[in-house]
Amino acid sequence: MRWGSKCFVSLVVAAGLVHGRDAKCADRVEPSYGRIDGDVTLVFAAGGVIADRGPRAEAELRLRYLESAGLFASYEDGPLVGASSKPPRVLAVGLELRPMFLFRWLEGLETDRARVDLALDSIGLELGVVFSQPSGAAFASRPGAQVGLGVELPIAANASGPWIGVHGGLRWSDTALASGVVQSVDDREAYLAITLAWHQVISAHVVDVGDRAPR
């Protein structure tokens, strides 16, 4: 009887542990938070840029593949009301690399807190070319390069929806890149962009575009 009681207690404890583990798995939040509902993310954003010589209004368009790599284009225009900015117009285009999402998701390293995971995985490196319009000159008459970092904060706990974006870095003129000498603020400028954006995950079938059978 004593042996039978011990076995019964052991079975009850084991059943409780299994049930608790199954309940925890059932309550677990889907760890991609909608990011794998499609293969491409479209981002439309608007906001402002704080730069060395005055603020500018900004609009952005971003196209990302599997939330990991993509293209971006931003257009800045000043002056804002009551302010002046030099250069008054800037166009930047380039590449964006965000390696944390796929690594953390495939390794199961999520925190199960949607906004925290989405924000961490949004950290990315931005490399691009920039075309500035100095005062009294034609648009895009001064090319250069930029290197930046970005992070985005989700307002909703989902990949598709409103986000707040923060992107900042440095820009160099073609003259500074060629000579390696920074002679003035025209040759190197720091910038910080703060935007309100809408992210939309869509299925563009980029992965299986080559696998579709002809009709």
pLDDT at 187: 79
Is 211 inside a domain boundary? no
Query: 108 with 185, same domain?
Result: yes
* Helix, strand or coil, per DSSP, at residue 65: strand
pLDDT at 53: 80
CATH assignment of the domain containing 126: 2.40.160.20
pLDDT at 8: 38
Q: Over the stretch 64-84, which tens digit does the pLDDT of each residue have?
A: 999 999 999 999 998 755 556
Query: 45 with 151, same domain?
Result: yes
Into how many domains does the chain fold?
Answer: 2
pLDDT at 179: 80
Query: 4 with 95, same domain?
Result: no
Both tokens assigned to 22: 């199954």
Q: How far is CA 74 from CA 57, 89, 149, in A?
A: 10, 11, 14
Query: 17 with 97, same domain?
Result: no
Residue 180 DSSP code: S
Residue 4 has pLDDT above 70, yes or no: no
Residue 203 has pLDDT above 80, yes or no: yes
Query: 4 with 82, same domain?
Result: no
Domain coverage including residue 148:
40-202
Is 35 inside a domain boundary? no
Residue 93 has pLDDT above 80, yes or no: yes
pLDDT at 208: 62
Higher local confidence (pLDDT), 178 or 159: 159
Query: 74 with 14, same domain?
Result: no
Query: 70 with 105, same domain?
Result: yes
Query: 84 with 119, same domain?
Result: yes
Both tokens assigned to 52: 């060395």
Query: 88 with 56, same domain?
Result: yes
The residues near 39 (Cβ < 8 Å, ≥ 6 apart) are 65, 66, 203, 204, 205, 206, 207
Q: Over the stretch 185-199, which tens digit does the pLDDT of each residue have?
A: 777 889 999 999 999
d(CA 51, CA 46): 16
Q: Over the stretch 97-150, which tens digit does the pLDDT of each residue have?
A: 999 999 998 888 989 899 999 999 999 999 999 998 876 677 767 889 999 999
